[in-house]
Amino acid sequence: MATQTRSHVTDQKPSLTLDTLRVEGVRNLESATFRPGPRLNVVFGLNGHGKTTVLEAIYVAATTRSFRTSRLRDLVAHGASTFSIQASFTERRADLPPLTRTQSAVFSEGKLHARLDGQKPPTLADFAVRSPVVVFHPEELALSTGPAALRRRLLDRVALYRAPTFAASLNRYAKALKSRQELLRRGASTHELEAYEQLLATAGAEIVRARRRAHLAIEPAVLEAFARIAAPGLELKLDYRTSGEDDEQVCARELAARRDRDRRAITAGFGPHRDDLELRLGGKLAREVASQGQHRAITLSLKAAESVAVREITGLEPIQLLDDVSSELDGERTAALLGFLSEMRGQVFVTTTRPELVTVALRSQNPNEFQIVSGQIKSA
């Protein structure tokens, strides 16, 4: 509500909280139940003791995926054959009684079994959007400078919250893209190729339309955050540059026309697997002109906008997971990050090797501190 004052908002419990997290057989973590606080949680410990794994377990319970590996079997503790993660979340929406649910993710026999209050969800994507989380991990410090895939994934996460069926479009697209390449390599008939190109065209056009909407959903918040974090007057532009098309007929024609060229390439030269989110500072490509500090400001702005978009789409303040991002920042940038953190109204989990840095700066938020030693989590 627009009339609520800020202190009123921060006095309340956030609209979504993780209340308990039970882990068994997850990497080096000891089997235990973790009870975080409703606002800021600082998980500290030496490198290699399991900080990231705690965030990873939360992320898996919320989304059925990890943010550091595409193979969930990597999370199974050495010597074990299964892992189990059970989370209890409470959702508070205005004028409704609080709603608590359990989300469990059990990996066994090479497969993830997700349950929402004990029931199998219609699809994993339906499960994945119930308890919104936004993760910020060190690899994403390269959001501004690094590969386009990082920026595509940001758009895709937003697109998924808008419409969970987007996950199916992405899957169909990736499979059809691989199959077409395989057929090209084998010199398959035009007839066979057309079938896959039609699939690619349909899924590809869906992806382009969804990413275009996701771009529009984040753009205002990116620009607003950047104007605050970076020097005033510096103009940032954010454009969705697709290598595909939003019209499936056009996609199908393009693919057909490129068969000869694509046969000799690693993958198709046309399609949203090559998309990017182009960043310009004062009209020039950020990749070419931005200073390190400006890249960091762009990165923070993109992440802040992801949270804003997820909040606007779901009506819930996403749970924030910040993995060790301060360790690669200098004093000034750590201050920017902490400023960013102190503005978050949801439940936050921060991992760090330097708790003194985080907890002193954020004392006003009454952080709950947890120390992790050799996979054992203790309240500090």
Q: Which does 78 bind (CB under 5 to 8 A by kind): ligand ADP, Mg ion, none?
A: ligand ADP
How far apart, in whole angstroms, are the C-alpha atoms of residue 309 and residue 314? 9
| Nearest approach, Cβ of residue 323 and Mg ion (Å) | 6
Say whether 134 sits in a helix, a strand or coil.
Answer: strand
Q: Please tell me the distance from the alpha carbon of residue 227 to that of residue 244, in angstroms, as a whole number.
A: 31
Q: How far is the CB of 37 from Mg ion (least distance, A)?
A: 21
Indicate whether 151 belongs to the interface with ligand ADP (CB under 6 A).
Answer: no
The answer to whether 164 contacts ligand ADP (rule: CB under 6 A) is no
> Which residues ranging from 70 to 89 are in contact with ligand ADP (CB under 6 A)?
76-78
Pick from 353, 369, 362: nearest CA to 52: 353
- Tell me which of Mg ion, ligand ADP, none is bound by residue 77, counting a contact when its beta carbon lies within the kind-specific cut-off of 5 to 8 angstroms: ligand ADP
Binding footprint of Mg ion, residue count (CB under 5 A)? 2
Judged by CB under 6 A, the residue of 45, 164, 204, 346 near ligand ADP is 45
Cβ-closest residue to Mg ion? 52
Residue with tokens 């390599």: 185
Query: Side chain identity at 212, as an amino acid letter?
Result: R
Per CB under 5 A, 63 contacts Mg ion: no
Contact pick of 13, 19, 22, 28 for ligand ADP (by CB under 6 A): 28
Min dist CB 194 to Mg ion, Å, is 47
66: contact with Mg ion by CB under 5 A = no
Structure tokens at 129: 């959007």
- What CA–CA distance (Å, rounded) separates 175 from 200? 9
Candidate list 8, 48, 174, 328; residue touching ligand ADP; CB under 6 A = 48
Q: Cβ 57 to ligand ADP, closest distance in Å?
A: 10
Name the binder of 295 from ligand ADP, Mg ion, none, CB < 5-8 A by kind.
none
Strand-strand pairing, 348-352 and 319-323: parallel
14 lies in the site for ligand ADP, by CB under 6 A: no
> Does residue 27 touch ligand ADP according to CB under 6 A?
yes
Which one of 23, 39, 51, 166 is in contact with ligand ADP (CB under 6 A)? Answer: 51
Contact 231, 208 (CB under 8 A): no
The CA dihedral of 202, 204, 208, 210, to the nearest 10 degrees, is 70
For the stretch 91-123, what's the b/e string if a residue is b when 16 or more beta carbons lie within 10 angstroms of its beta carbon?
Answer: bbeeeeeeeeebbbbbbeeeebebebeeeebee
Read off the amino acid at residue 246.
D
The residue (of 104 and 334) whose beta carbon lies closer to Mg ion is 334
339 scored as a contact of ligand ADP (CB under 6 A) = no
Q: Which two tokens stand for residue 306?
A: 């992801």
191-203 per-residue burial string, b: 16 or more CB within 10 A, e: under 16:
eebeebbebbbbb
Residue 164 phi, psi dihedral angles, 5° rounding: -60, -20
The 8-class DSSP code of residue 13 comes to: P
Q: Is 66 in the site for ligand ADP (CB under 6 A)?
A: no
Q: Which residues bind ligand ADP (CB under 6 A)?
A: 27-28, 45, 47-53, 76-78
Q: Which residues bind Mg ion (CB under 5 A)?
A: 51-52
